[in-house]
Amino acid sequence: MSSVESLSDRVIETDVLVVGSEGAGSTAVLEAITQGVSVTVVTKGSNIGRSGATVTGDADLDVDSRSLHERFGLKGTDTRDNQAVFFDDMLKGGKYLNNQKLVEIHVEAAPDRLQDLVDWGVKIDGLLHASGHSYPRGVVIPGTKLMPVLRRTVLSTDVNLVPYTMITELLTNRGRVVGAVGINGATGEFMVFKAKAVILCTGGAMRMYPYTTAPEELTGDGSAMAFRAGAELVDMEFPMFLPGVFPWPPAVKGVDIPFLLSTGGFVAGWMLNKNGDRFMRHWDPINLEWTTRDICSVAMMTEILADRGGPHGGVYVSLKHLPDDVIDHLEDWMPPEFYMHYGGFNMREYLPDLKRESIESVPASHFFNGGIRINEQCATSLPGLFAAGEVTGGVHGANRLSGNAFTEMVVWGHRSGRFAAEYAKQSPDVSIDGEQLREMRGKTFAPLERKNGVSQAQIRKKMQQVAWEKAGVLRDGDGLEQALAEFVRIREEELPQVSVRSKDRVFNREWARTLELENMLLIMEMVCRTSIKRTESRGALYRRDYPDTDNINWLKNQIVSNRNGEISVRSEPIVVTRAEPPRKVLKYGKTE
Ligand SMILES: Cc1cc2nc3c(=O)[nH]c(=O)nc-3n(C[C@H](O)[C@H](O)[C@H](O)COP(=O)(O)OP(=O)(O)OC[C@H]3O[C@@H](n4cnc5c(N)ncnc54)[C@H](O)[C@@H]3O)c2cc1C
């Protein structure tokens, strides 16, 4: 028996391994399969459409309005829009840190990828005009309607789907990726995947924060394992916050109805502090609540920390300025997914009478603008490793526009499938380094084998609190240094002590959560280190000690790389193809 077989419970060989099964992962699978290679897709979920952010996605997928008019005949489009205007809006929204080569591909490919979805059977429910977009571009396709179609389409191919499985590390040999290892929750097996190309489609890292809109699988695993294997990351100082979730009651904490009733633009709700001040006038007097989501989150958090919020820790969202019959009509025209059945809740039971009372709202971790650095072919800096969707950085710069993550996942999912398949076809057979595999196996099982130790739940809670208070929506140098010191201390002192109480390997959530904890701590450390270096405020990073946007010194991307296990940060000039940003210092939120 070879060392690989003796060290693993199951070995799967494939040309292309896709990690993550949702918007990016499914579209990667479908394109790779058409290229004639064998494909295996692994997911933490029980099936496709049962984990990750895509299925929770509210609504929109951005395509320029002109293409929507010409190719899809959608109502409500504006033909003054085109791909060049969409490109400019993305750069203004991303405060010019976006990689312009990627943005060009993104806006050009969006109509074709929407066409794929329609051809597979996805229905378009309407069109939105969200904040930050010059024209209506938000094609309404809720995740709950998208994912059943993708599931059906993917499962009609001969893909090998491996559910309930958490990939923990990437395997490398002679400077390239040759597969991955993970644990299968349903069987408890330690699994080895041998692959000529790996595509990471593992989504974001939002669970690092206590307030989040995202499901529990999103713990930054892809970015963390890519870093450990030697791939570069970009723009890690820009975790994004959504301005508007319920802080309370616990049953709906994190649900984003307050956002839909204000910045989301479904209804022109006002945001008020406890003194009744419509505070957005201090931040964006023209767009007010309908500003981009980065600015709105910063404004909300400023009120909350100045003790001008409500009893549950949020600011108020009020519809009282609207005539009663407009409020009555909410239920008529709002899609029932949003209002009546949101996340399985009938919101009517949780919403007060909106004609008389406001609701409380806090910002919440919602997305990660940065991530694994990719080129136009979705290749990372590590040969054999590709990435697509939210786990990557570069498309959105410092802040993503509404609806543009769905576009990202289908445009880049598709491309990653194509280029990873081409790479695999040209690749010779790969071999696994037995010594590396032994180490990875030992690391994976260590928390199970420790008899006594600390609980991951306590550490997770502590990490989230520090992240929220010192490395969240509002940051400053002192707080970031304190947070960094705490995360390093936890990583060095507490993490090696974590012990899992149940020693059963099957469906042991505590074990999986322990493995996720290391990833979240690593990503938080990257957030702190990159935020400390960026001495300005831009997009989703607001530093109270450096409140302006410094286009003289900081039109740069920060690149994170692995130097002997430690995080190294360097900066590089932004990638410009056609839009030159103004080279001057600007007030936060302004682009010119
Ligand atoms: C509540 C909510 C609403 C949103 N609404 C919108 C919207 O209306 N429009 C829009 O554009 N964007 C929206 N977004 C953002 C958007 O949904 C995501 O950015 C996008 O769906 C990400 O797709 P993805 O395929 O990259 O990742 P995900 O959909 O998050 O999928 C990640 C996959 O990776 C798997 N995975 C993770 N780690 C591992 C591991 N270690 N091993 C194996 N598998 C792993 C997960 O199980 C899952 O299958 C919303 C996000 C949230 C949270």
Q: 39-66 pLDDT, tens per residue?
A: 999 999 999 999 999 999 987 999 999 9
Q: Which two tokens stand for residue 413?
A: 């999912």
Percent of residues, the chain, with pLDDT higher than 70:
97
Distance CA 15, CA 178 (A): 10
What's the pLDDT band for 22 if we cut at 50, 70, 90? very high
Distance CA 585, CA 592 (A): 9
Same domain as 223, residue 126 = yes
Query: Strand 474-475 vs strand 542-543: parallel, antiparallel, or unpaired?
Result: parallel
User: What torsion do the CA atoms of 83, 54, 208, 178 make, to the nearest 10 degrees?
Assistant: -90
Tell which residue, 496, 489, 498, has the closest CA to residue 466. 489
Contact 520, 220 (CB under 8 A): yes
Residues in the chain: 592
Distance CA 162, CA 10 (A): 12
Give me ligand 1 centre to Cα 353, in Å.
33
Is position 502 within any domain? no
Contact 58, 142 (CB under 8 A): yes
Q: What is the largest CA-CA distance in the chain?
A: 76
What's the pLDDT band for 340 if we cut at 50, 70, 90? low
Asked whether residue 260 carries a pLDDT value surpassing 90, the answer given is no
Between the alpha carbon of residue 103 and those of residues 277, 538, 579, 589, the distances in Å are 38, 19, 11, 21
Same domain as 214, residue 118 = yes
Containing structural domain, residue 80 = 13-238+367-426
Ligand 1 site residues (CB inside 6 A) read 19-25, 42-45, 51-54, 56-61, 165-167, 182, 201-203, 213-214, 217-218, 221, 256, 366-367, 389-390, 403-406, 409
Query: Whole-number mean pLDDT of the chain?
Result: 94
Question: Final residue of a domain: which of 366, 385, 407?
Answer: 366
Same domain as 195, residue 245 = no
Question: Which 8-state DSSP code applies to residue 289?
Answer: G
Question: Final residue of a domain: which of 426, 441, 476?
Answer: 426
Question: Of all protein residues, whose CA lies closest to atom 2 belonging to ligand 1?
Answer: 57
Distance CA 158, CA 38 (A): 8
Question: Which 8-state DSSP code applies to residue 400?
Answer: P
Asked whether residue 165 carries a pLDDT value surpassing 80, the answer given is yes
Percent of residues, the chain, with pLDDT higher than 90:
85
Question: Final residue of a domain: which of 317, 334, 366?
Answer: 366
Tell which residue, 34, 55, 398, has the closest CA to residue 203. 55
Same domain as 118, residue 232 = yes
What's the pLDDT band for 592 if we cut at 50, 70, 90? confident
Q: Where are the beta strands (DSSP E) in 246-402?
A: 270-272, 315-318, 359-368, 371-373, 385-387, 392-393
CATH code where residue 303 lies: 3.90.700.10
Ligand 1 pocket test, candidate residues 125, 144, 202, 411, most atoms within 8 A of CB = 202
CATH code where residue 374 lies: 3.50.50.60
What's the pLDDT band for 426 if we cut at 50, 70, 90? very high
Same domain as 188, residue 162 = yes
Question: Which 8-state DSSP code applies to residue 353?
Answer: -
Neighbour-count burial of 332, counting CB atoms closer than 10 A to its CB (0-12 exposed, 13-18 middle, 19+ buried): exposed
Tell which residue, 390, 223, 213, 404, has the closest CA to residue 297. 213
Ligand 1 pocket test, candidate residues 56, 219, 225, most atoms within 8 A of CB = 56
Asked whether residue 102 carries a pLDDT value surpassing 60, the answer given is yes
Same domain as 408, residue 361 = no
Same domain as 143, residue 72 = yes
Q: Angle CA(116)–CA(119)–CA(123) in degrees, nearest 5? A: 100
Q: Which two tokens stand for residue 323?
A: 């005539």
Ligand 1 atom nearest to 48, measured from its CA: 49
Q: Where are the beta strands (DSSP E) in 228-369?
A: 233-234, 239-245, 270-272, 315-318, 359-368
Residue that the structure tokens 């003054």 belong to: 80
Is position 39 within any domain? yes
Asked whether residue 285 carries a pLDDT value surpassing 90, the answer given is yes
Please give the pLDDT value at position 500.
Answer: 93
Same domain as 226, residue 163 = yes
Give me ligand 1 centre to Cα 543, in Å.
27
Same domain as 178, residue 33 = yes
Q: Where are the beta strands (DSSP E) in 159-235?
A: 160-162, 165-173, 176-184, 190-200, 233-234
| Cα 215–chain centre separation | 11
Please give the pLDDT value at position 349.
Answer: 73
Distance CA 242, CA 229 (A): 31
Question: Of all protein residues, whose CA lies closest to atom 53 belonging to ligand 1?
Answer: 214
Please give the pLDDT value at position 77.
Answer: 97
Indicate yes or no: pTM above 0.75: yes
Is position 176 within any domain? yes
Give me ligand 1 centre to Cα 323, in Å.
37
Please give the pLDDT value at position 488.
Answer: 97
Is position 232 within any domain? yes
Q: Angle CA(501)–CA(505)–CA(509) in degrees, nearest 5? A: 60
Is position 202 within any domain? yes
Tell which residue, 553, 151, 273, 275, has the closest CA to residue 283. 273
Is position 47 within any domain? yes
Contact 191, 182 (CB under 8 A): yes
Contact 197, 498 (CB under 8 A): no
Contact 292, 93 (CB under 8 A): yes
Phi, psi of 475 (to 5 degrees): -130, 160
Between the alpha carbon of residue 417 and those of residues 89, 172, 196, 412, 475, the distances in Å are 28, 20, 13, 8, 38
Q: 171-197 pLDDT, tens per residue?
A: 999 999 999 999 999 999 999 999 999
Same domain as 286, residue 139 = no
> Stretch 398-424: mean pLDDT, rounded?
97
Question: Which 8-state DSSP code applies to residue 355?
Answer: T
Is position 582 within any domain? no
Same domain as 374, residue 225 = yes
Q: 509-536 pLDDT, tens per residue?
A: 999 999 999 999 999 999 999 999 999 9
Asked whether residue 339 carries a pLDDT value surpassing 80, the answer given is no
Is position 519 within any domain? no
Q: How many distinct structural domains can be found in the chain? A: 2
Tell me the chain's radius of gyration from C-alpha atoms. Answer: 23
Contact 304, 313 (CB under 8 A): yes
Contact 160, 40 (CB under 8 A): yes
Question: Of all protein residues, whose CA lies closest to atom 19 belonging to ligand 1?
Answer: 405
Phi, psi of 542 (to 5 degrees): -115, 115
Same domain as 247, residue 233 = no
> Stretch 299-326: mean pLDDT, rounded?
94
Q: Where are the beta strands (DSSP E) in 413-516?
A: 474-475
Asked whether residue 589 carries a pLDDT value surpassing 90, the answer given is no
Question: Of all protein residues, whose CA lies closest to atom 35 belonging to ligand 1?
Answer: 20
Asked whether residue 480 carries a pLDDT value surpassing 80, the answer given is yes
Question: Of all protein residues, whose CA lies closest to atom 14 belonging to ligand 1?
Answer: 57
Question: Of all protein residues, whose CA lies closest to atom 20 belonging to ligand 1?
Answer: 54
Number of Cβ within 10 Å of residue 504's Cβ equals: 12
Q: Which region, left, alpha or beta, applies to residue 477 given φ > 0 means left and ψ of -120 to 50 means alpha?
A: alpha
